[in-house]
Amino acid sequence: MAETTAKSGRNILEIDDLKLAYLVGGARVKAANGVTLRVGEGEAVGIVGESGSGKSTIARTVLGLLPEKTSEIESGKLIIDGRDVTRLSPKEWESVRGNPVAIVFQDPLSFLNPVMRIGRQIAESVEHHDQGVKDVKARVAELLTLVKLPVTAARAYPHELSGGMRQRAMMAIALGCRPKLLVADEPTTALDVTTQSEVMELLRDLRKKLGMALLLISHDLGVVASACERIYVMYAGRTVEWGPTATIFSNPSHPYTKGLLRAAKATRDERGRFETIPGDVPNLSKQPPGCPFEMRCPVAMPVCKESMPAPTDLGSRHAVRCYAVEAAAQRVPASAAS
């Protein structure tokens, strides 16, 4: 398997062939259908992929926040900081959540307590997870400054902040835990570019200072490119391509990754239409046995309908799950393949 490990050789997060389903009505929505992913200590890793492809599901899994009654981990393994946490009880998860792993959610309002001041919410995370801190109030002020919020924001309630300010407040709460791994789910979606680059700058700084690892989920390729050393591309609950950021951009191999990069340009064609990736997203509750991208794929072959390809190692920690790429790699006995 062309899986990569950290520079230090130690991984803060390992996900192995994870399969899980949400149960809705009578259906099983397979939101993870073979996810394999590594984040090394101190490393910044990005996940990109279509809306609904299972990115937030990964985030929820890593935090033990899957809905208890309506989801089920079917198979696979989840290791955090050396500990197998695949089957932890809700109680046991409390020793993982916050520290070593903290999260910044996609929808701030679903996470923030609407009737508690921001300052108190940050203070709670500090009190629970960073017991070394004596002066909690000073630490709260420091965290607010860190995320570029005025110290007065401590006294505001969530609804009194703008969307972007709420996102940063949530980041302060997460950082208050001093996590070894920060999972950031679309942390900058609602931010203008100047604020966005400030926040990304902040994350880079913190990683350097604290040695914190980052798992950054975003559909914004620019954001991921600027912050992450490696990228995983997800499609329909599967990791389909991964490699160093530069390689993914300069040499995208999966047909979906290629389409993604093309569509990212927000340009309109001669008919005034915006570019999209043609075809429908697959139905996660009735997945075909083969590659989920097959029905939209410009280079699909008969075999693609039959089974999901194994990863093809393209060298330099770059790998892809695609029969077309596999066939091409075999034709040219590549010196690249390590």
Partner 1 sequence: MVETVIGKPVLELCKVSKSFHRRGFPPVTAAREVDLHVCEAETVALVGESGSGKSTLAKIALGLVRPDAGEVKLFGKTISGLPMGQLREVRTAMQPVFQDSSAAFNPRRTVTQLLSQAAIRHPSPIGTMRERLIILLEQVGLRPGEDYLGRFPHELSGGQRQRLSIARALAMDPPIIIADEPLSGADVSIRGQLLNLMIDLREKRKVAYLFITHDISIAKAFAHRVAVMYKGSIVERGNADEVLANPQHEYTKRLVEGSLTVEQAEKAVEAISHKMESGVAAS
Ligand X SMILES: Nc1ncnc2c1ncn2[C@@H]1O[C@H](COP(=O)(O)OP(=O)(O)OP(=O)(O)O)[C@@H](O)[C@H]1O
- Specify the DSSP element, H or E, that contains 136: helix 136-146
Q: Counting contacts by CB under 6 A, is residue 46 touching ligand X?
A: no
Report if residue 301 touches partner 1, rule: CB under 8 A. Answer: no
| Binding of ligand X by 233 (CB under 6 A) | no
Which of positions 74-133 make contact with Mg ion (CB under 5 A)?
Answer: 106
Q: Give the closest residue to 203 by CA, choosing from 102, 317, 58, 63.
A: 102
SS3 335: coil
93 vs 157, beta carbon nearer ligand X: 157
55 forms part of the interface with ligand X (CB under 6 A): yes
Interface pick for partner 1 out of 7, 10, 82, 109 (rule CB under 8 A): 109
Judged by CB under 6 A, the residue of 92, 95, 135, 163 near ligand X is: 163
Q: Is residue 253 close enough to count as binding partner 1 by CB under 8 A?
A: no
Least spacing, CB of residue 203 vs Mg ion, in Å? 18
Decide if residue 298 touches partner 1 (CB under 8 A): no
In the block, which residue shows the tokens 């890793």? 45
Task: HSE, CB side, 13 Å, CA atoms: give it for residue 6.
Answer: 20
Contact between 22 and ligand X (CB under 6 A)? yes
Phi, then psi, of 265 in degrees rounded to 5: -80, 0
Alpha-carbon dihedral angle through residues 165, 170, 176, 178, given to the nearest 10 degrees = -120
- What would the x/- binding string for partner 1 be over residues 3 to 32, using CB under 8 A? -------------------x-xx-x-----
Site string for partner 1, 111-150 (x = CB under 8 A): ----------------------------------------
Nearer to ligand X by C-beta: 33 or 99? 33
Least separation in angstroms between residue 178's CB and ligand X is 26
Task: Name the minimum Å distance from CB 217 to ligand X.
Answer: 7
Minimum CB separation of residue 279 from partner 1 in Å reads 9
Query: 228 near 196, Cβ under 8 Å?
Result: no
The torsion angles phi and psi of 134, rounded to 5 degrees, stand at -90, -50
Query: Could you tell me if 134 and 123 are in contact, meaning their C-beta atoms sit under 8 angstroms apart?
Result: no
Total residues binding Mg ion (CB under 5 A)? 4
Does 190 participate in binding ligand X (rule CB under 6 A)? yes
Alpha-carbon dihedral 298, 186, 282, 330, rounded to 10 degrees: 40
Under rule CB under 8 A, residue 187 binds partner 1: no
Start-to-end Cα distance in the chain: 11
189 binds ligand X (CB under 6 A): no
Q: How far apart are CA 178 and CA 183, in angstroms?
A: 12
Query: Looking at beta carbons only, is 26 or 90 nearer to partner 1?
Result: 26
Asked whether 109 and 158 are in contact (CB, 8 A), the reply is yes
171 sits near ligand X (criterion: CB under 6 A): no
User: Could you tell me if 95 and 104 are in contact, meaning their C-beta atoms sit under 8 angstroms apart?
Assistant: no
Count Cβ neighbours within 10 Å for each residue of 53-88 and write b for 16 or more, e otherwise: bbbbbbbbbbbbbbeeeebebeebebbbbeeebeeb
Q: Is 163 in the site for Mg ion (CB under 5 A)?
A: yes
| 4, 57, 196, 257: which one binds ligand X (CB under 6 A) | 57
**Residue 56 binds Mg ion, judged by CB under 5 A:** yes
Within 13 A of 37's CA, how many CA atoms are on the CB side? 35
Least separation in angstroms between CB 277 and partner 1: 4
Binding-site ranges for Mg ion (CB under 5 A): 56, 106, 162-163
